[in-house]
Amino acid sequence: MTGTKSALVLCMDVGFSMSNSAPGEEPPFELAKKVIQKFVQRQVFAETKDELALILFGTDSTKNSLDQDGQYQNITVHRHLMIADFELLEEIENQIHPESQQADWLDAIVVCMDLLQTETKGKKYNRLNIVLLSDLNTEASSEHVDVIIENLKKADVTLQFFLPFPAGDDDEEGRGDADKGGLSHPGMGKGLSREQKSNLDMVKHVMLNLDEEDGLDQIYTFRNAIEQLCMFKCIERRPMAWPCQLTIGSSLSIRIVGYKSVTEEKLKKAWITVDAQTNLKEDVKRETVYCLEDDNETEVQTDDTIQGFRYGSDIVPFSKVDQDQMKYKHDGKCFAVLGFTKQNMVHRHQFMGSQVIKIFAPKDDEHAGVALSALIRALDELKMLAIVRYAYDRRSNPQVGAAFPCIKQDYECLMYIQLPFMEDLRQFPFPSLENNKKLIPSETQLSAVDSLIDSMMLVEENEDGKQKDMFKVHKIPNPAFQRHFQCLHHRAVNPGTPLPAIEEWLKAAIERPEVISERCQAPLEEMKKKFPLTEVEKKKKLKTSAQIFGKDSEEPDAKKAKGDEEEDDFNLANIAEGSVTSVGSVDPARDFRTLIKRKSLPFGDVCQQLTHRIEQLLGNKNTPYYMKSITCIQAFREQSVKLGNADLYNSYLQSLKKSISNRGLEVFWDLLVQDAISLISKDEVEESTVSKNEAHQFLLAEEKKEEATVPTAEDTGDVDDLVSIELFLFL
């Protein structure tokens, strides 16, 4: 083992020439800083074990171990070799500024090598690398250059240069506009200075000496690097080898190794919940309790529960032990051929599962290689595939799947993809589109579609007959990850500021290519004319809680209403006989009213008890509990108005609203909206900070957001309900 991590020294020029730039251009310093930031960000989020050091040269001060007798001046070791972290990112953001000195870049390389040598001692690395970012606008002494090259070779250190300008005129960017001298690159000003020219020659000399063939490929421009680093793959995973045997019948087996080659990558880390005040996760505890479905919601110890399963309407107690004993068991790891079938019998849209496995022969076994190759080629020539039973190991469920032959220029393999079980399929019939006369498109309509498709082809043939795909999805980094890390980086480095907008390059990367957008303008206009599309106005179904709750049963609904009406005279008797001491779960709204009436507890406390119950009820996510919650909120509102204290109620309702989508309580919210239970406005309680209009908007806002496409017709029902509630409140 030579170690799995690499050591890398970032060596950045911060000398005074780095901040020179032509008007309107970003100075090389800023570009170099961006390169470093992007690079370090990538290291931090990828959580690589690679170690990084940062050396600055051209600094006003000097801090390095070679500093002696006026040698190696203005070079600062900013950070020693260690894993990249946010501290480093913050330092780059806040502590690295252009400085006013100059230093020899070859000296800087020597300092880097020295650091690598001392700090990697006794540890294993698979790569040592120095990255130098500079505009090369300093004088450098070339005396020792060959010694340096020798030492680099000896220590097996690789070198990369990042410059503001391209390395040669045959460079891809320089091509075609050689006469301009690469003026398009910032930091170039009016062409290269004498120093830059001689330094560039020296850089080339070094690079070609280190690697005769590809040395110059390791010289990049800042601009290029930034683009490349933006597009980085956030999650790079080494696939695990899965050794197994492909079997055909009882006596033919071939040793194979499988690798997951395509699968939907997820972010490695999940969000943890922390207390909003302290930001500590230890302050938050989640607890799950079990309770019986009775009026008292009697709690039951976890130990007193057993597991069961539903078999239709029956619930069958089925202990874990029994389940394990009786469950389907198999022999474990397996890749067994059930038979072979024509490739066209397996439909692409019936692929199941979430991955593609590539199957090779083991590296060290050429006989297996030949045997597998025979199978792959036989299948390919016959246009067939193998249907196999696949089981990852003894604990995982076996699958049925297809093994396709795949022959590439430099390798061949089988590709395994899961296929459906009978239980997975849902055969939905859909009405025919072609037999319905009303739907059959006319010839002119078809030709409009025809030219639209022609104008929007993403794959084109070049002059040299090669196909060019201008929208390769599998080359686009997952925008969700990019955005995620952009926001995390921002929050980590600039705490307390709002999250930034989506980066422009990312937006552009997932948009229709500009060429296509332009080309399809006219055909799209034609389409618009040829195909009339009219949105069907739909009456938004009025769903009041009462309707949902008791469509088929007027009875409880009526009772509820009655209870509400009787609100004012129900109390005395109840208070007299009831021994209500807290807001219980059976009828929290009644308890709440009673406790408020009795004034034995402070209003705030009673409200807290009530909201506690509401939260409990909402935890159940179903209609009857929603209904109960609504009666609680109604009671809360009504009592708050009575006592002229709107704050507790309003802030609770606001926080509730915020949590709706998180908790999947949209249905409940709809009920609240339909019942027009909004904030308490100024008109009702003077102290309230909410205007009547705001109270009304409060309910509408969420609706609009939710169904942006549906024009929200003002629900007259809302207003009516609101009025009636107000009326009854002021009785």
Which residues from 301-360 bind another protein, rule CB under 8 A? 304-318, 323, 326-328, 336-342, 345-356, 358, 360
DSSP-assigned states of every residue in 543-610:
--HHHHHTSS-HHHHHHHHHHHHGGGTSHHHHHHH----S--SSSHHHHHHHHHHHT-S-HHHHHHHH
Q: Are 614 and 633 in contact (CB under 8 A)?
A: yes
Strands 314-317 and 219-221 come out as: unpaired
* Position among 379, 648, 685, 725 found at the interface with another protein (CB under 8 A): 379
* Position among 389, 540, 642, 682 found at the interface with another protein (CB under 8 A): 389
Q: In whole angstroms, how close is the CB of 93 to another protein at the nearest point?
A: 13
Q: Which of 496, 489, 486, 487 is nearest to 89 (CA)?
A: 489
* Position among 208, 216, 230, 527 found at the interface with another protein (CB under 8 A): 527
362 belongs to the binding site for another protein (CB under 8 A): yes
Residue 640 has a CB neighbour count (10 Å cut-off) of 23
Scanning 120-230, the segments in alpha helix (DSSP H) are 145-155, 194-210, 222-230
The residues in 88-127 that bind another protein, with binding defined as CB under 8 A, are: 88-89
* Position among 70, 143, 156, 428 found at the interface with another protein (CB under 8 A): 428
Residue 663 has a CB neighbour count (10 Å cut-off) of 15
| Between 369 and 717, CB nearer to another protein | 369
β-bridge mates for residue 360, sequence order: 257
Query: Which span (159-167, 377-385, 570-578, 681-689) binds another protein, by CB under 8 A?
Result: 377-385
Number of residues in the chain: 731
One symbol per residue from 273 to 302: x for binding another protein (CB under 8 A), - otherwise; what is it? xxxxx-x-xxxxxxxxxxxxx-x-x--x--
Query: Which span (52-60, 113-121, 150-158, 419-427) binds another protein, by CB under 8 A?
Result: 419-427
Residue 61 has a CB neighbour count (10 Å cut-off) of 11
The residues in 581-610 that bind another protein, with binding defined as CB under 8 A, are: 586-587, 589-590
Q: Which of 22, 56, 50 is nearest to 36 (CA)?
A: 56
Query: Which span (27-35, 171-179, 259-267, 636-644) binds another protein, by CB under 8 A?
Result: 259-267
Q: Are 612 and 583 in contact (CB under 8 A)?
A: yes
| Between 345 and 719, CB nearer to another protein | 345
| Between 463 and 555, CB nearer to another protein | 555
Site size toward another protein (CB under 8 A) is: 249
Q: In whole angstroms, how close is the CB of 510 to another protein at the nearest point?
A: 6
Q: In whole angstroms, how close is the CB of 300 to another protein at the nearest point?
A: 5
429 belongs to the binding site for another protein (CB under 8 A): yes
Query: Which span (204-212, 521-529, 573-581, 714-722) binds another protein, by CB under 8 A?
Result: 521-529
* Position among 576, 708, 727, 731 found at the interface with another protein (CB under 8 A): 708
The helix/strand/coil state of 496 is coil
Q: In whole angstroms, how close is the CB of 392 to another protein at the nearest point?
A: 13
Q: Are 173 and 221 in contact (CB under 8 A)?
A: yes
Q: What is the CA radius of gyration of the chain?
A: 36
What Cα–Cα distance (Å) separates residue 502 from each residue in 38, 269, 505, 510?
Answer: 16, 21, 9, 12
What Cα–Cα distance (Å) separates residue 205 from each residue in 111, 198, 370, 485, 526?
Answer: 20, 11, 47, 39, 60
Strands 6-13 and 51-57 come out as: parallel
Query: Which span (71-79, 188-196, 553-561, 686-694) binds another protein, by CB under 8 A?
Result: 553-561
* Position among 172, 430, 504, 568 found at the interface with another protein (CB under 8 A): 430
666: number of CA atoms within 13 Å, CB side?
9
With residue 85 as reference, give the H or E element that holds it. none
- 226 Cβ contact list (under 8 Å, min separation 6): 31, 34, 35, 38
* Position among 11, 18, 163, 413 found at the interface with another protein (CB under 8 A): 413
What Cα–Cα distance (Å) separates residue 319 from each residue in 304, 309, 311, 687?
Answer: 13, 10, 15, 58
Q: Are 163 and 131 in contact (CB under 8 A)?
A: no
| Between 215 and 401, CB nearer to another protein | 401
Query: Which span (94-102, 140-148, 157-165, 543-551) binds another protein, by CB under 8 A?
Result: 543-551
| Between 154 and 348, CB nearer to another protein | 348
| Between 71 and 622, CB nearer to another protein | 622
| Between 251 and 716, CB nearer to another protein | 251
The residues in 438-497 that bind another protein, with binding defined as CB under 8 A, are: 438-441, 445-446, 448-450, 452-453, 456-459, 469, 471, 473-481, 483-484, 487-488, 491-492
* Position among 563, 574, 575, 729 found at the interface with another protein (CB under 8 A): 563
* Position among 2, 95, 141, 432 found at the interface with another protein (CB under 8 A): 432
| Between 197 and 237, CB nearer to another protein | 237
* Position among 60, 201, 424, 566 found at the interface with another protein (CB under 8 A): 424
The residues in 625-644 that bind another protein, with binding defined as CB under 8 A, are: 625, 628, 631
| Between 184 and 350, CB nearer to another protein | 350
* Position among 551, 572, 602, 727 found at the interface with another protein (CB under 8 A): 551
- How big is the CA angle at 39 (ends 19 and 166), to the nearest 5 degrees? 55
The helix/strand/coil state of 532 is coil
Q: In whole angstroms, how close is the CB of 27 to another protein at the nearest point?
A: 28
Q: Which of 145, 149, 166, 171 is nearest to 158 (CA)?
A: 149
78 belongs to the binding site for another protein (CB under 8 A): no
